[in-house]
């Protein structure tokens, strides 16, 4: 089964609301690109204004959600609110939140359940830091993350999830995993999925790579058997660079 390809833009805390429509519009006008779905995940403040750009080839997603339906959670946004606004996706478990929010790791599984219940597709992030990589414990570390965050899900839930492997040591550092390093981890994730949920589901699950993805390295990464696209940070803020990445993913799908 041929998996569809995804390139997701994580704008992080960048781009002013007054600039967001211009940037998203430039991306929208460059689409569709054959075999690739593009997702833009801007700050919460931009979501409403970007909804008119949603189409079959371009979806809008959020960068996080709270695991509760509603309540006294000042500053947080529920999955239901995001869905009601029109969002299609939500990033959950990004390494920057894992590192900076002391309770984040313990909440990820519940956030995934909340997103699924609301009808959103989670982009679930996992990945190891440099000390783990240097100890060559990265495979087991990510397996432990998967076990902690996804093991309570049912097969029908996994069918709605996109996984993004992001080596923490490569995010925003200018470093990136080699194609061989990225493929090794993606194959390991797929192997874990197969053991836990069955081979058919493992084969159909989209697994993205994230970590200093740029036009110059995108094609070599995208050509790996188990890499189905990218979660792009800084490079997504430059339309020319971002669209070159999208075209690289399309080219790899056509090989």
Q: What is the 3-state secondary structure (H, E, C) of 21-62?
A: HHHHHHHHHCCCECCEEEEEECCHHHHHHHHHHCCCCEEEEE
Q: How far apart (Å, rounded) are the C-alpha atoms in residues 185 and 225? A: 12
The tokens for 180 are 């061989």
Which candidate in 37, 128, 166, 186 is catalytic? Answer: 166
Q: Is 166 one of the catalytic residues? A: yes
Residues 6 or more apart in contact with residue 51 via CB below 8 angstroms: 60, 85, 86
Considering the candidates 94, 138, 186, 247, report the single residue annotated as catalytic.
Answer: 94
Tokens representing 6 are 């995804």
Please report, for residues 46, 88, 130, 135, 184, the alpha-carbon distance to residue 41 in angstroms, rounded to integers and kept in the order given. 9, 10, 26, 33, 27
- Lookup result for tokens 């992080």: 12
Give the residue among 40, 134, 126 at the shortest CA–CA distance from 87: 40
Give the Cα separation of 56 and 221 in Å (integer): 25
Residue 112's H or E segment, with its range, is: helix 104-118
Task: Report residue 70 as tokens.
Answer: 């509603």
**Catalytic residue positions?**
94, 166
């Amino acid at each position: 089964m041929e998996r569809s390809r995804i390139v997701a833009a994580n704008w992080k805390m960048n781009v002013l609301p007054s600039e967001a429509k211009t940037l998203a519009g430039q991306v929208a006008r460059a689409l569709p690109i054959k075999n690739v779905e593009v997702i833009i995940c801007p700050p919460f403040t931009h979501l409403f204004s970007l909804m008119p750009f949603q189409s079959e080839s371009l979806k809008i997603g959020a960068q996080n959600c709270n695991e509760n339906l509603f309540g006294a959670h000042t500053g947080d946004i529920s999955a239901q609110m995001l869905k009601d606004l029109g969002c299609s996706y939500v990033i959950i478990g990004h390494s920057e939140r894992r590192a900076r929010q002391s309770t984040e790791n313990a909440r990820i599984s519940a956030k995934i359940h909340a997103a699924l219940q609301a009808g959103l597709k989670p982009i679930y992030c996992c990945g190891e830091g440099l000390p783990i990589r240097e100890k060559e414990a990265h495979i087991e570390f990510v397996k432990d993350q998967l076990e902690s965050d996804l093991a309570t899900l049912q097969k029908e839930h996994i069918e709605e999830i996109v996984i993004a492997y992001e080596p923490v040591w490569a995010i925003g550092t200018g470093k990136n995993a080699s194609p061989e390093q990225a493929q090794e981890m993606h194959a390991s994730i797929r192997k874990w999925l197969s053991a836990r949920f069955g081979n058919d589901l493992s084969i159909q699950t989209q697994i993205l790579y994230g970590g200093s993805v740029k036009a110059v390295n995108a094609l070599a990464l995208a050509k790996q058997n188990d890499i189905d696209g990218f979660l792009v940070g800084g490079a997504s803020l430059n339309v020319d660079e971002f669209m070159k990445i999208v075209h690289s993913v399309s080219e790899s799908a056509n090989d």
